[in-house]
Homo-oligomer: A and B are copies of this chain.
Amino acid sequence: MNSTTQHILKGSLSVIILKLLEDRERMYGYEITQQVKALTAGEMAITEGALYPALHKLEAEGLLTTETEVVDGRARKYYSLTKDGQQQSVSRTSELRAFMQNLNLILNLKPAV
């Protein structure tokens, strides 16, 4: 993943997290990083330095709840959507889609040849 693409990610990370949890119901941080890589064939990667603060913020906002478990001798912190989180996932996803549609109106302009 090049720096430009990484850069453009700004602001969409929380929507990505919410949407993944809508799909999976229950995920832990490391799993999220791997799932994003898997879904995008390695083209997108989210750094842990961005992910964990984002998760903590969403939890503080009341959109996520956590359960910690020990699996294979290692601690895992599972995140799930709260009611609010489910609603926010829907609304933020549709806002992001609307934004992308508008952005595409600009990107699809034909250059004056």
Q: Which segment, of A56-64, A69-77, A99-107, faces chain B? A: A99-107
Chain B residues whose CB sits within 8 angstroms of the CB of A5 once the complex forms? 95, 98-99
Contacts of A99 in B (CB 8 A): 5, 8-9, 44
Mask: chain A, 3-19; 1 = CB below 8 Å from B; 0 = not:
01101111110011001
A-side binding surface: helix, strand, loop or mixed?
helix
Query: Contact between A20 and B98 (Cβ–Cβ < 8 Å)?
Result: no
Give the residues from 1 to 60 in chain A that come closer than 8 angstroms, CB to CB, to chain B. Answer: 2, 4-5, 7-12, 15-16, 19-20, 22-25, 36, 39-40, 43-44
- A100, B103: Cβ atoms closer than 8 Å: yes
